[in-house]
Amino acid sequence: MVDGLAEKKELEIYIHIPFCVRKCAYCDFLSAPADKETRGRYVEALKQEIRESRKLGETYEVSTVFVGGGTPSLLEGRQLAEILRELRDDFSVREQAEITVECNPGTLDGDKLKSFRDLGVNRLSLGLQSAQNEELRLLGRIHTWEEFLESFRLTREAGFSNVNVDLMFGLPGQTQKSWRDTLNRVLDLEPEHISAYSLILEEGTPFFRQYGERAEDSHEKSGQETMAGVSEKKGAPREPFPGLPDEDTERQMYEDARERLEAAGFVRYEISNFAKPGRECRHNLGYWRREEYKGFGIGAASLLGGCRFRNQEKLGPYLQGQFAVTDWEELTPADDLSETMFLGLRTRQGVRLTREMRRIYQKELERYQRQGFLLEEKGFLRLTDRGIDVSNWILADFLIEEQMFDI
């Protein structure tokens, strides 16, 4: 630190691009197709929003930038350039900052990738989901495996040496054999990072409706008992939907991923994220460690100055320069502690236990360690492999109320 100058705090930046070629059948993210003019106006609004937040740049410097969506690679190279230039004009972005752009196969070309590189983008995240064309078709993805291969080749050709591939398991029609084949094909490409999430049936998505209707169709045709009514509930169990792997198979798929990826030199540094050593996504690690972040674009979330809030989600007002925030919440000590446990336990490193944590979570710590779900090592608490299997259930137990501080 230079005498008289306070060191700036770290800030992560998330920029939301809510546009996609078309909506995937399972997706409930804030994204939709939009015409060229709307995309152009959104870029202008984004720049304005960033500019209006420039005061933050006096206190913070940017350690990571994540341009997510949606499909940010749908933007023209020049549009992304304008956004990142605006960010650099208003904030000091560290020289070593990790700058990630989410991309979908079918929206990339060599020139676009080269312009990303020239802008300092040093990490790409490619949405593949499956290497099986039939599974991709059912999910409503816009690309085939072959188109993904071409996009991956282009990223390497453009000089990107830090590439994530997103995968999903528990898909309709997916078998253990097809999942293993997907893993093998992706491993052959040697990406630096792989995310593997299980499919979640989100209420209100076309996918949810599609499979509910199919279940009813097959009921009419076969006369078999179906449980289509269950499909109306959020987080409905998998069994009612024909073609969806059962829970045991899904768990086995996760195990297959862990075994294969670890054998190939990947480290599971978070429940669903695997990286070659040193290639962990710094931006996402920041979320799990509760570092401060500022989101730009509709629906983007922020954690800043002890408060959580989100930008409003409506595109119309946003395009007119109305950057209202919603869900403003000043975090209490109980929120801080709950989130530290809830998020930190997702990571391989786990959470450094403080005296206060030991006091407040005494019962949970004793019970889950005795049952072999949690392990304490060198002052850090983490989930065991068995604990990861039931992580949702365990993590929920670490949410506490304010009054527990008085115990």
Considering beta carbons, is residue 42 or 398 the nearer one to ligand SF4?
42
CB < 8 Å & 24+ apart, contacts of 249-253? 249/175, 249/176, 250/169, 250/170, 250/198, 251/389, 252/176, 253/169, 253/170, 253/174, 253/176, 253/179, 253/198
Compare residues 127 and 245 and give the one whose CB is closer to ligand SF4: 127
**Of 13, 17, 24, 87, which one interacts with ligand SF4 (CB under 6 A)?**
24
174 binds ligand SF4 (CB under 6 A): no
The smaller minimum CB distance to ligand SF4, of residues 315 and 388, is found at 315
Instruction: Pick the closer one to ligand SF4 by CB: 46 or 56.
Output: 46
Torsion, CA 277, CA 279, CA 284, CA 286, rounded to 10:
70
Report if residue 105 touches ligand SF4, rule: CB under 6 A.
no
Q: Which of 141, 130, 124 is nearest to 68 (CA)?
A: 124
**Binding segment (CB under 6 A) for ligand SF4, from list 24-32, 130-138, 156-164, 370-378:** 24-32
Q: Which stretch binds ligand SF4 (CB under 6 A): 6-14, 16-24, 286-294, 378-386?
A: 16-24
CB of 168 to ligand SF4, least distance (A): 9
DSSP annotation of 300 reads: -
Is 284 exposed, middle or buried, given 0-12, 13-18 or 19+ CB atoms closer than 10 A?
A: buried
Q: How many residues bind ligand SF4 (CB under 6 A)?
A: 11
The HSE-up count of residue 322 (CA atoms within 13 Å, CB side) is: 9
Tokens 């408060």 belong to 307
Question: Is residue 70 involved in binding ligand SF4 (CB under 6 A)?
Answer: yes
Q: Taking a C-beta distance cutoff of 8 angstroms, is the pair 375, 382 a contact?
A: yes
Binding flag, residue 108, ligand SF4 (CB under 6 A)? no
Q: Which is nearer to ligand SF4, 63 or 71 (CB)?
A: 71
Residue 376 CA neighbour count, 13 Å, CB half: 14
Task: Decide if residue 127 touches ligand SF4 (CB under 6 A).
Answer: yes
Q: Which of 8, 10, 29, 185 binds ligand SF4 (CB under 6 A)?
A: 29
Asked if 168 interacts with ligand SF4 (CB under 6 A), we say no
Among 60, 63, 69, 193, binds ligand SF4 (CB under 6 A): 69
| Strand 307-311, strand 60-69: pairing | unpaired
| Closest distance to ligand SF4 from the beta carbon of 107 (Å) | 9
155, 190, 299 from 278: Cα distances, Å: 20, 15, 31
Binding of ligand SF4 at residue 340 (CB under 6 A)? no
Is residue 197 near ligand SF4 by the rule CB under 6 A? no
Identify the burial level of 301 via C-beta atoms within 10 angstroms of its C-beta, where 0-12 means exposed, 13-18 middle and 19 or more buried.
Answer: middle
27 binds ligand SF4 per the rule CB under 6 A: yes
- Least distance in angstroms from the C-beta of 29 to ligand SF4: 4
Residues at the interface with ligand SF4 (CB under 6 A): 20, 23-24, 27, 29, 31, 69-71, 104, 127
